[in-house]
Amino acid sequence: MPLKIVRNDITKMTTEAIVNTANEYPAVGTGCDRAVYDAAGLDDLLSYRKEHIGTVKEGDVFITPGFSLPAKYIIHAVSPLYIDGKRSEEEKLRSCYQKSLALAAENGIRSIAFPLISTGGFGYPKEQGIRIAVDEINGFLLNHEMLVFLVVFDEKASQMGKNLYPDLEAYIDRNYVQKKHEEEYREAFFTDEVAADEAPKPYDVEAARLEQARAARRRNARFPEERELKAKNLCVGSVPAPGVGMAPPLASKKKMSLEDEDAAIEELDRNLQERINHRSDSFSEYLLYLISSKGMKNSEVYDRAIVKKRVFSKIKTNPNYHPQKLTALCLCIGAKLNLDESRDLLSRAGYALSPCDKTDIIFSYFIEKEIYDMVEVDIQLEEYGLPCVIA
């Protein structure tokens, strides 16, 4: 799930948890801290802090109930006081985000809202604070499923976020947390067990993952320019680079002997009989059959497909489980299926490869050319403005 920038009051957010910029000692500060205490119930929250938490050093976090807030929990991040940038302020600020997200995950929290930690009364430069926040949150979301909001209070900060990260989804809407919107995102993401791993996402949510993938690439330098240039030769409708995914010319094929023809016919018969034997398989059963018939390991397939192990485990252990279409397409790449096998597998989950859908066309192209590399697929998805897989 992507990071969203929201212009709002942190105390009005209807996420499962909000983050507060806390003091080291059990005392109420100014700005965000004061607003959170007042909205939660000052006496209740302060008493809880004194009785159960006590003193906490800069960069560390702790969790409390939300009391009177719409959020169930408050994660308090003890924010660093900015002096000159040479006293580990950045390290402590990054720690606030890292530890807050880790604590949320430990407590099974699936949606959380952050303020711009330390950029108010603690004096951290706002532009640097936004960069650090987006960097740490996106880094966390590469390996975790959580709905994360970065809440900015003023128009200047929200505009700064859009300027720094123009492709990052930004909601400039003070009414976001009205009851109607609350019901929309809670129903969309958290209605059943499947939602935690593969929540059905509206298109705008998927599109925001583009920036997530780009940020990861810039930060980790995983995809050099040379590779991207090479990938551009693989665009749908273009001619592949020489030697890349191309079959040899027909004229160069040797004529089969009678023995070879007989062996080939027998192999076709065996394959046909195998398909007939598996005609009633579910998506899960047929995928596992294909993996086994190709002599592959499950881990090899889901790693190549960039599919999480827990999602693959659901497919493996539940014969009636149907993944999202994008997950199914990735598994076609992971299992190195040909076009017929891919169509057959997809149909068992109720999907088809559409000639009118850009994502389907790109996956079909790579499958047809036997280029089973999700990095190359992902680059092309990004080139065509489509949701990326590696995020």
Nearest alpha carbon to residue 94 among 110, 74, 114, 65 = 114
Tokens linked to 23 = 């003091």
Alpha-carbon torsion (76, 82, 83, 88), positive or negative:
positive
Q: Identify the sign of the CA torsion 317, 322, 324, 328.
A: positive
3-state secondary structure 211-238: HHHHHHHHHHCCCCHHHHHHHHCCCCCC
Catalytic residue among 9, 33, 192, 262: 33
Q: What kind and span of H or E run contains 264?
A: helix 258-277
DSSP-assigned beta bridge partners for residue 112: 17, 148
Based on the residue annotation, tell me whether 173 is a catalytic residue of this protein: no
Q: How far apart are CA 357 and CA 375, in angstroms?
A: 20
Beta bridge partners of 147: 111
Give the active site residues: 33
